[in-house]
């Protein structure tokens, strides 16, 4: 087994996903310990331009191009990676994303290799991989030690490390030829679908007041709407509310919804799952209201209120109006 750390690049429709550069940053740190180098595996079709873009961050790119890689599929990527990495890396990194957690565990089973998913940090200590993770809706932190002669496979939660920026000297791009048997893939890509927007754009608002499952019933939505109105803002939501059709999908804040950066974000009865936080953590001022003082939303909020949102919000609206 080699000493290198290989990061699997993520890209869609000609754009490199930001998490790729976070993987490079973490990979570089790990490679310093394994005595190898960090490399990016870029798989696709007609993506030499993207390879140059990644290499400009000062990292070597292993470029595999094939018709069967025109869009991501787990089977296509798994076959290509097995063919590309004839000498397996010490560590293979992917983002903890819809692509990364689709691919990485499957590779672990196929390679008979250990997997640690959804890590917020990774370190090497004398050949042992130390994985830091958050569990139970981010209410607990766990440190896991894994030791193996097989490659370590890990997914890194997006936003956990600072991405690498452009470098003075670009890395080289090394084309690698791969053989892929599409018949063995088992999965065929057909196309992308995008939701049609026929609603206000919550990403354009200065003030977003978001409701979560803590509001308990749809009938309580006017309470939240009242606060949004008093502040000249719009109503957003956590995913369960749009899943239940209490609000249109266009109001969902988070990883699989909208990313918002308003001047003010008020989270009402939202626990603060990582997928929600991904969509609002960069708001200018974040105020969270939750009955549970251990709710992880209080980690990203600037101000926290431990209260029943159905009592607090009407009281706040009254205060705002009487002022």
Ligand X SMILES: Cc1cc2nc3c(=O)[nH]c(=O)nc-3n(C[C@H](O)[C@H](O)[C@H](O)COP(=O)(O)OP(=O)(O)OC[C@H]3O[C@@H](n4cnc5c(N)ncnc54)[C@H](O)[C@@H]3O)c2cc1C
* Residues found near ligand X in the complex (CB under 6 A): 212-214, 238-240, 252-257, 269-271, 273, 275-276, 279, 289-292, 295, 308-310
User: Using the rule CB under 8 A, is 32 a contact of another protein?
Assistant: no
Choose which of 14, 45, 46, 150 interacts with another protein (CB under 8 A): 150
User: Using the rule CB under 8 A, is 271 a contact of another protein?
Assistant: yes
Choose which of 46, 98, 127, 167 interacts with another protein (CB under 8 A): 98
Which token pair is 264?
């003010």
Residue 158 vs 171, nearer CB to another protein? 158
Residue number closest to ligand X, CB atom:
254
Q: Return the one option of ligand X, another protein, none that residue 204 interacts with (CB less than 5 to 8 A, by type).
A: none
Q: Return the one option of another protein, ligand X, none that residue 290 interacts with (CB less than 5 to 8 A, by type).
A: ligand X
Closest CB 146 distance from another protein, rounded Å = 5
Strand partners, 173: 61
User: Using the rule CB under 8 A, is 107 a contact of another protein?
Assistant: yes
Which token pair is 281?
């953590």
Residue 171 vs 272, nearer CB to ligand X? 272
Return phi, psi of residue 245, to 5°.
65, 25
Cα–Cα distance, 215 to 15 (Å, whole number)? 38
Residue 182 vs 240, nearer CB to ligand X? 240
User: Using the rule CB under 8 A, is 45 a contact of another protein?
Assistant: no
Which token pair is 256?
């699989």
Cα dihedral 197, 198, 203, 207, rounded to 10, equals: -160
**Site residues (CB under 8 A) for another protein, limited to 109-128:** 109-110, 112-115, 117-118
Q: Return the one option of ligand X, another protein, none that residue 309 interacts with (CB less than 5 to 8 A, by type).
A: ligand X
Sequence-distant (≥ 6) Cβ neighbours of residue 183 within 8 angstroms: none
Residue 29 vs 102, nearer CB to another protein? 102
As a whole number of Å, the end-to-end CA separation of the chain is 69
Nearest to 176 by CA among 88, 52, 84: 84
Cα–Cα distance, 291 to 313 (Å, whole number)? 13
Cα–Cα distance, 314 to 323 (Å, whole number)? 14
Which DSSP category does 159 fall into? T
Residue 209 near residue 313 (C-beta atoms within 8 A) = no
Q: Return the one option of ligand X, another protein, none that residue 103 interacts with (CB less than 5 to 8 A, by type).
A: another protein
Nearest to 269 by CA among 251, 246, 287: 287
Residue 60 vs 239, nearer CB to another protein? 239
User: Using the rule CB under 8 A, is 201 a contact of another protein?
Assistant: no
SS3 108: helix
User: Using the rule CB under 8 A, is 318 a contact of another protein?
Assistant: yes
Choose which of 3, 97, 182, 229 interacts with another protein (CB under 8 A): 97
Q: Is the dihedral of CA 136, 141, 147, 150 positive or negative?
A: positive
User: Using the rule CB under 8 A, is 196 a contact of another protein?
Assistant: no
Residue 49 near residue 185 (C-beta atoms within 8 A) = no
User: Using the rule CB under 8 A, is 190 a contact of another protein?
Assistant: yes
Closest CB 98 distance from another protein, rounded Å = 5
């Amino acid at each position: 087994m080699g000493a290198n750390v290989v990061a699997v690049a993520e890209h869609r429709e000609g754009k490199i996903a930001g998490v790729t550069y976070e993987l490079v940053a973490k990979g570089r740190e790990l490679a310093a310990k394994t005595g190898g180098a960090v490399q990016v595996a870029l798989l696709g079709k007609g993506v030499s331009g993207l390879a140059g873009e990644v290499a400009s961050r000062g990292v070597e790119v292993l470029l595999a191009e094939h018709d069967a890689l025109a869009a991501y599929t787990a089977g296509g990527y798994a076959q290509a990676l097995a063919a590309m990495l004839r000498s397996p890396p010490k560590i293979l990194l992917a983002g903890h994303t819809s692509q990364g957690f689709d691919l990485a565990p499957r590779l672990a089973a196929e390679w008979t290799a250990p997997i640690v998913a959804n890590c917020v940090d990774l370190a090497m200590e004398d050949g042992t991989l130390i994985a830091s993770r958050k569990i139970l809706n981010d209410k607990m932190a766990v440190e896991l030690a894994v030791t193996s002669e097989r490659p370590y496979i890990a997914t890194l939660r997006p936003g956990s490390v600072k991405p690498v920026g452009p470098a003075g000297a670009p890395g080289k791009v090394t084309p690698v030829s791969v053989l892929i048997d599409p018949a063995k893939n088992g999965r065929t890509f057909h196309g992308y679908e995008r939701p049609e927007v026929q609603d206000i754009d919550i990403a354009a608002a200065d003030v977003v007041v978001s409701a979560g499952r803590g509001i308990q019933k749809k009938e309580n939505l006017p309470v939240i709407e009242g606060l949004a109105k008093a502040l000249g803002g719009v109503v957003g939501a956590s995913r369960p509310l749009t899943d239940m059709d209490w609000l249109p999908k266009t109001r969902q804040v988070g990883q699989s919804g909208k990313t918002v950066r308003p001047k003010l974000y008020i989270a009402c009865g939202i626990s603060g799952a990582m997928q929600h936080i991904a969509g609002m953590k960069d708001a200018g001022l974040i105020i969270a209201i939750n009955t549970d003082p251990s709710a992880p939303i209080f980690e990203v909020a600037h101000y926290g209120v431990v209260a029943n949102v159905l009592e607090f919000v009407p009281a706040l609206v009254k205060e705002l109006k009487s002022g």
